C-alpha cells in the first residue's frame, strides 16, 4: 500500500512538472483527507485511474448511451458511458406501471395488443438484440428496434421520447434470434428465426422435422416517416430448419446482402425420451454448419414481383423460389457459430464459432465472384447451392477458447469475446494476429464497442456483457445480477475500468451510440397522446374540463396541473362505461404527474403535455381514491380526489 501511495503521489507530482512548484501551503492542503481516503478504502493506483476515468460529476452528461436488451425482463436498459449509470429501463414488451405502460391507457394497450399471438396477450419477452436505426450505415439516433426471442416478435422504440410505438408479430415463426439487425439505411429490420416449426402456426409432428419444419428470415419494411413497420410491404424468405442464429447486414460494398449463421445443419431436434440423442449433442456432430448469404435487394424485387405465397398475412418467398431466383447461398462455417459481424468497411465478415478456437474472415468480393460465376461446390439436401469454404475466406485467426462475438475499433482491430476463456482478445484484422488478451469476468457473452456496429466505430470504449456475477458484488442471491465490464480500448493496452451489476434481466447484446446523436424532447406539445406522438382524439381544453354522459358511457375531460386534478370528484353508477381523458397542462421540463385509481389497476404517467385516455367499466361499487403518484410539489399529497361508484341496486346497508 505504501508503495502504491508513493507511485501515485509521484505520478501526480510528475504530472504538474515536479515538486519545486509546491509551497508549504499546498503540501499541507487536502492531503490528509486524500491519504485517509486511499488508505481507508484500500485503493491501488489502477483503481484510482479507473475511478477517475469513470467518475462523472454531478450535472455532467455521459459521452455515450448504451442501449442494452433487458433479456427476460422484456424491456430495454439505457446506460450512460463512462459513468456506467443506468439512466432508464424503457418499457417495451412487459407492462410497466411507473411509465404508465399497459396499466389502463388505451394507447399503450393498443401497442401491446400489436404483439398478440394466436389472439392471446403476451405480456413479456426474451429480448436479445437491440438495433439502432442507421443512415448510411451510421447510427442516426432516431429509433431503436428490439426482438422477443421467445415469441418471435419485434418492437419499435422512438428515441424522441424513449417510448415504445409498435410491437409486431409475424405469426409465421415461433421464435427468433437473428434479430433485430437493420440494413444500412434502415430500409428493413431483419428478424431471423431460431427454433424451427411449421410456418404459420400449423401443427406437424416433430418427426416430420425435415419435411415440415422450417426457418425463415423476415424483412420488416420500416417506414421512417411514420416511425412504424409497414406489414404490407414486408416479406419473409423460407429457410431450411437449420436453427438460424445471429445475423448482420452488409454495408458499403456488401450493402444489399445479409448474413445469417446456423447451428443445426444436422437437423437434430432432441427427443431424449423418444430414443433420440439430446439436441446439444445431436446438433454438434457436423464439423461445419452453414453461413447463409442472402441477397435482400434481389429478394425485395422478387417479393414485389408477386413471386410469394401469403402465410398468416405475410408474403413469403418459398425456399424453392429463393433457390430458383438465386437469392440464397450457403458457405460452410465452423460448427456452433454465434456472431457473424461485418467489418466497418463492409468487405469482410467475421464469424466466431464457440466450439472452434478460430475466427474466420470471409471475403465478400470472393463470395460475390463465386456467386456471380455460379461456382458452387455442392448443394445442401434442400437444393441450396453451397460455396467452397476455402475459396470464400481470406483466412482464420487462432484466438482461444470459445470465441463468440466480435466488435471493431477505428484502427483496424477486432475484439472478440472468448466465452470459455473468460477473456477478450484484441487482434489485427489485417494480419489475423492476436495483439493482446485481457481477462474479464466469468462467462462473457456479447461485446459492444462504441459505435461498434457502424461503418465508423469510435474505438474508445468496449463493454463486455458477462453472464454470471457469482460473488463479484454484495450478494442478492440465489438470483444474482449479470455483470457489465467497461473497458477502455483507446490506448495501446485494454484497461478494465468498471464492473456494473445489472439489476433486472440478462442483457444479451447492446449498441453504444454517441450521446450527441440522441435528442429526446423535454416536453410533449400540448395534449399529445404519448403512445402515438400525435394530438389526442379527445382534446381537453384548459377551463373546459367536464363530465359528459353520452350514449357510449360517461366521458370525463380532466386536467392535471400542480397540484390539482379537475374535476376532483367523479360520480358514476356501477356498470357505467367510463372514458377518462386526462391532459397534463404542465409545460415545464420534468413536471410529471401520475394518476392512480384505487382497486381498478390503473396507473398513468402524465408527462408534461401528455394526454392519456382510459376506458373501463366501473364494475365495482364503492369509494375509490385517485391521486397523483409523482411527487410534484409541496402539496403533492393533496393532489387527490374521489371516484365514486354508486351501487346499482339498493344501497348497501349502513353499518
Give the integer Cα–Cα distance in Å for 92 and 126: 11
- Region of 266-274, 286-294, 325-333, 406-414 interacting with a copy of itself (CB under 8 A): 266-274
Q: Which is nearer to a copy of itself, 345 or 574 (CB)?
A: 574
Options 231, 428, 521, 616; binder of a copy of itself; rule CB under 8 A: 521
State residue 446 phi and psi, 5-degree precision: -80, 165
Joined grid coordinates for residue 458: 469510435
Options 112, 432, 448, 500; binder of a copy of itself; rule CB under 8 A: 500
Options 129, 177, 335, 426; binder of a copy of itself; rule CB under 8 A: 177
Q: Which is nearer to a copy of itself, 103 or 220 (CB)?
A: 103
Options 152, 229, 249, 425; binder of a copy of itself; rule CB under 8 A: 152
Angle formed at CA 38 by CA 35 and CA 39, multiple of 5 degrees:
80
Site for a copy of itself in 334-353 (CB under 8 A): 336, 338
* Contact in structure between 386 and 290 (CB atoms under 8 Å): yes
Site for a copy of itself in 306-325 (CB under 8 A): 311
Joined grid coordinates for residue 18: 515536479
Options 215, 594, 612, 618; binder of a copy of itself; rule CB under 8 A: 594
Q: How far is the CB of 394 from a copy of itself (least distance, A)?
A: 26
Q: Which is nearer to a copy of itself, 66 or 367 (CB)?
A: 66
Give CA separation, 530 vs 124, 228, 559, in Å: 21, 15, 16
Site for a copy of itself in 241-260 (CB under 8 A): 243, 245
Pairing of strands 228-239, 314-317: parallel
Site for a copy of itself in 203-232 (CB under 8 A): 203-206, 212-213
Window 425-464: contact mask with a copy of itself (x via CB under 8 A): ----------------x-x-x-------------------
Give the integer Cα–Cα distance in Å for 530 and 647: 34
Could you say whether residue 630 binds a copy of itself (CB under 8 A)?
Answer: yes
Q: How far is the CB of 547 from a copy of itself (least distance, A)?
A: 7
Q: Which is nearer to a copy of itself, 323 or 547 (CB)?
A: 547
Residue 346 CB neighbour total at 10 angstroms = 19
Could you say whether residue 593 binds a copy of itself (CB under 8 A)?
Answer: no
Site for a copy of itself in 459-488 (CB under 8 A): 467-481, 485
**Measured in Å, how far apart are the chain's first and last C-alpha atoms?**
74
Q: How far is the CB of 251 from a copy of itself (least distance, A)?
A: 26
What DSSP state is assigned to residue 636?
G
Options 518, 578, 580, 582; binder of a copy of itself; rule CB under 8 A: 518
Q: How far is the CB of 366 from a copy of itself (least distance, A)?
A: 29
Count of residues engaged in binding a copy of itself, rule: CB under 8 A: 207
Q: How far is the CB of 279 from a copy of itself (least distance, A)?
A: 5
Site for a copy of itself in 15-74 (CB under 8 A): 15-16, 18-19, 21-23, 26-35, 37-38, 41, 43-45, 47-55, 57-59, 61-62, 65, 70-74
Site for a copy of itself in 116-135 (CB under 8 A): 117-118, 120-126
Options 114, 184, 198, 339; binder of a copy of itself; rule CB under 8 A: 198
Could you say whether residue 652 binds a copy of itself (CB under 8 A)?
Answer: yes
Pairing of strands 228-239, 602-606: unpaired
User: Please, is 634 exposed, middle or buried when counting C-beta atoms within 10 Å of its C-beta (0-12, 13-18, 19+)?
Assistant: exposed
C-alpha torsion angle, residues 197, 202, 207, 213 (rounded to 10): -30
Q: Which is nearer to a copy of itself, 106 or 295 (CB)?
A: 106
Give the integer Cα–Cα distance in Å for 198 and 269: 14
Could you say whether residue 238 binds a copy of itself (CB under 8 A)?
Answer: no
Options 129, 315, 405, 564; binder of a copy of itself; rule CB under 8 A: 564
Could you say whether residue 162 binds a copy of itself (CB under 8 A)?
Answer: yes
Q: Which is nearer to a copy of itself, 109 or 251 (CB)?
A: 109
Alpha helices in 78-127 (DSSP H): 106-113
Identify the bridge partners of residue 102 per DSSP, sorted by sequence position.
none
User: Which helix H or strand E contains 13, and what residues bound it?
Assistant: helix 2-15
User: Helix, strand or coil for residue 103?
Assistant: coil
Short-list 437, 385, 265, 276, CA closest to 334: 265
- Region of 130-138, 323-331, 429-437, 615-623 interacting with a copy of itself (CB under 8 A): 615-623
Could you say whether residue 263 binds a copy of itself (CB under 8 A)?
Answer: yes
Could you say whether residue 369 binds a copy of itself (CB under 8 A)?
Answer: no
Short-list 499, 441, 494, 487, CA closest to 466: 441
Joined grid coordinates for residue 262: 446456423
Residue 287 CB neighbour total at 10 angstroms = 10
Could you say whether residue 381 binds a copy of itself (CB under 8 A)?
Answer: no
Q: Which is nearer to a copy of itself, 373 or 653 (CB)?
A: 653
Could you say whether residue 1 binds a copy of itself (CB under 8 A)?
Answer: no
Could you say whether residue 616 binds a copy of itself (CB under 8 A)?
Answer: no
**SS3 of 24-53:** HHHHHCCHHHHHHHHHHHCCCHHHHHHHHH
Joined grid coordinates for residue 334: 465452423
Displacement of CA 66 from its chain's centroid (Å): 10
Q: How far is the CB of 232 from a copy of itself (least distance, A)?
A: 22
Short-list 367, 354, 460, 364, CA closest to 407: 460
Alpha helices in 22-130 (DSSP H): 24-28, 31-41, 45-54, 106-113
User: Please, is 233 exposed, middle or buried when counting C-beta atoms within 10 Å of its C-beta (0-12, 13-18, 19+)?
Assistant: middle
Q: Which is nearer to a copy of itself, 16 or 225 (CB)?
A: 16
Q: How far is the CB of 253 from a copy of itself (least distance, A)?
A: 31
Amino acid at each position: 500500500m505504501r508503495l502504491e501511495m508513493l507511485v501515485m503521489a509521484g505520478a501526480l507530482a510528475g504530472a504538474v512538472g515536479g515538486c519545486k512548484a509546491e509551497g508549504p501551503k499546498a503540501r499541507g492542503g487536502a492531503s490528509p483527507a486524500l491519504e485517509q481516503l486511499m488508505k481507508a478504502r484500500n485503493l491501488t493506483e489502477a483503481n484510482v485511474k479507473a475511478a477517475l476515468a469513470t467518475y462523472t460529476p454531478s450535472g455532467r452528461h455521459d459521452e455515450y448511451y448504451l442501449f442494452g436488451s433487458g433479456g427476460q425482463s422484456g424491456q430495454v436498459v439505457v446506460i450512460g458511458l463512462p459513468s456506467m449509470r443506468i439512466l432508464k429501463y424503457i418499457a417495451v414488451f412487459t407492462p410497466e406501471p411507473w411509465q404508465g405502460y399497459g396499466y389502463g391507457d388505451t394507447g399503450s394497450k393498443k401497442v401491446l395488443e400489436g404483439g398478440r399471438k394466436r389472439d392471446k396477450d403476451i405480456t413479456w419477452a426474451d429480448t436479445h438484440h437491440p438495433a439502432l436505426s442507421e443512415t448510411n450505415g451510421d447510427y442516426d439516433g432516431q429509433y431503436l428496434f428490439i426482438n422477443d426471442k421467445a415469441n418471435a416478435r419485434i418492437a419499435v422504440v422512438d428515441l424522441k421520447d424513449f417510448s415504445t410505438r409498435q410491437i409486431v408479430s409475424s405469426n409465421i415463426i415461433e421464435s427468433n434470434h437473428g434479430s433485430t439487425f437493420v440494413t444500412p439505411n434502415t430500409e428493413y429490420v431483419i428478424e431471423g428465426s431460431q427454433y424451427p416449426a411449421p410456418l404459420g402456426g400449423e401443427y406437424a409432428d416433430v418427426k416430420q422435422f425435415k419435411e415440415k419444419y422450417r426457418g425463415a428470415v423476415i424483412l420488416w419494411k420500416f417506414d421512417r416517416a411514420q416511425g412504424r413497420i409497414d406489414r404490407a410491404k414486408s416479406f419473409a424468405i423460407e429457410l431450411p430448419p437449420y436453427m438460424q442464429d445471429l445475423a448482420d447486414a452488409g454495408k458499403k460494398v456488401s450493402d444489399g446482402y445479409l448474413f445469417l449463421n446456423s447451428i443445426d445443419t444436422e437437423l437434430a431436434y432432441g427427443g431424449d425420451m423418444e430414443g433420440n440423442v439430446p439436441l446439444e449433442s445431436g446438433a454438434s456432430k457436423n464439423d461445419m454448419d452453414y453461413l447463409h448469404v442472402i441477397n435482400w435487394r434481389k429478394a425485395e424485387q422478387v417479393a414485389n414481383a408477386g413471386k410469394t405465397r401469403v402465410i398468416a398475412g405475410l408474403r413469403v418467398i418459398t425456399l424453392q423460389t429463393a433457390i430458383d431466383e438465386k437469392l440464397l447461398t450457403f458457405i460452410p462455417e465452423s460448427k456452433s457459430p454465434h456472431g457473424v459481424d461485418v467489418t466497418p468497411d463492409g468487405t469482410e465478415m467475421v464469424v466466431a464459432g464457440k466450439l472452434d478456437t478460430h475466427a474466420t474472415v470471409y471475403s465478400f468480393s470472393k463470395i460475390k465472384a463465386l456467386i456471380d460465376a455460379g461456382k458452387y461446390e455442392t448443394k445442401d439436401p434442400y437444393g441450396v447451392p453451397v460455396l467452397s469454404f476455402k475459396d470464400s475466406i481470406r483466412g482464420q485467426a487462432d484466438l482461444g477458447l470459445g470465441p463468440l462475438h466480435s466488435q471493431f475499433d477505428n484502427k483496424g482491430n477486432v475484439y472478440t469475446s472468448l466465452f470459455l476463456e473468460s477473456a477478450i482478445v484484441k487482434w489485427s484484422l489485417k494480419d489475423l494476429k492476436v495483439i493482446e488478451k485481457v481477462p474479464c469476468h466469468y462467462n462473457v457473452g456479447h461485446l459492444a464497442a462504441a459505435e461498434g456496429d457502424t461503418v465508423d466505430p469510435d474505438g474508445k470504449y468496449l463493454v463486455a456483457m458477462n453472464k454470471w456475477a457469482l460473488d463479484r458484488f454484495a450478494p442478492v442471491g440465489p438470483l444474482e445480477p449479470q455483470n457489465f465490464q467497461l473497458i477502455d480500448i483507446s490506448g495501446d493496452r485494454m484497461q478494465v475500468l468498471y464492473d456494473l451489476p445489472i439489476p433486472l434481466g440478462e442483457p444479451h447484446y447492446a449498441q453504444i451510440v454517441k450521446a450527441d446523436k440522441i435528442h429526446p424532447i423535454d416536453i410533449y406539445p400540448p395534449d399529445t397522446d404519448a403512445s402515438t406522438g400525435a394530438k389526442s382524439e379527445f382534446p381537453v381544453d384548459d377551463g373546459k374540463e367536464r363530465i359528459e354522459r353520452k350514449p357510449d358511457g360517461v366521458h370525463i375531460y380532466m386536467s392535471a396541473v400542480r397540484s390539482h386534478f379537475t374535476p376532483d370528484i367523479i360520480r358514476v353508477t356501477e356498470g357505467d362505461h367510463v372514458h377518462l381523458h386526462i391532459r397534463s397542462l404542465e409545460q415545464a421540463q420534468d413536471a410529471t404527474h401520475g394518476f392512480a385509481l384505487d382497486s381498478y389497476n390503473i396507473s398513468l404517467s402524465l408527462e408534461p403535455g401528455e394526454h392519456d385516455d382510459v376506458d373501463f367499466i366501473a364494475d365495482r361499487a364503492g369509494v375509490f381514491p385517485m391521486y397523483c403518484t409523482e411527487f410534484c410539489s409541496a402539496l403533492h399529497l393533496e393532489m387527490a380526489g374521489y371516484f365514486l361508484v354508486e351501487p346499482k341496486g339498493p344501497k348497501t346497508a349502513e353499518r
